[in-house]
Amino acid sequence: MKIEDEIKGRFRNEYHKGLINLTYTAKQLSYEFYQSLKKHGLAEQQYNVLRILRGFRSEAPLSINFIKERMLDKDSDVSRIVDRLVQKTLVSRIENPKDRRQKSVKITKSGIVLLDKMFNCEQKVDTLLNNLTTVEVKEFNRLLDKIREEEQ
């Protein structure tokens, strides 16, 4: 369905339409995933931190800055997110003996178990773009990368 029919709106021009279309589509695609995160007691940013910690497990423990650089939401308060994950025993925090202000973070066994339980949620995300061919998805990714290049 066309975006103008979907939201029953008008646009100043094709660029405006493209931006609204991109935003609307992203929110629609991610809504289901966010609902599954809620079922597991996680917010999107908490899941993102766990995903980063799992992906860099071999380099653990990781600094807060290391995690922040890899977050999808660059405005995240990673220290607060980590505090919540520590309370849930999904991560552990280690103080640097040389500088007590510096903290390192490591995913716990229960954090890994939770992510393993969520594997079907992660697989479902992979299917959200199934109505596109592999060639179309590659082109879509290229265009998104190009948009971000123009932004900087």
Would you state the pLDDT for residue 71? 94
**What does the pLDDT look like over 87-103, one tens digit per residue?**
999 999 988 777 777 78
CA distance 150 to 40: 37
- Whole-number pLDDT of residue 150: 64
* DSSP secondary structure string for all residues of 130-147: TTS-HHHHHHHHHHHHHH
Complete domains list, the chain, with CATH: 42-151 (1.10.10.10)
Q: Over range 40-53, report the average pLDDT.
A: 94
Q: List, edge to edge, every strand of the sheet that includes 62-63.
A: 62-63, 103-107, 91-95
The whole-number pLDDT of residue 23 equals 92
On whether the CB atoms of residues 107 and 54 are closer than 8 A, the answer is yes
Global confidence as pTM: 0.82
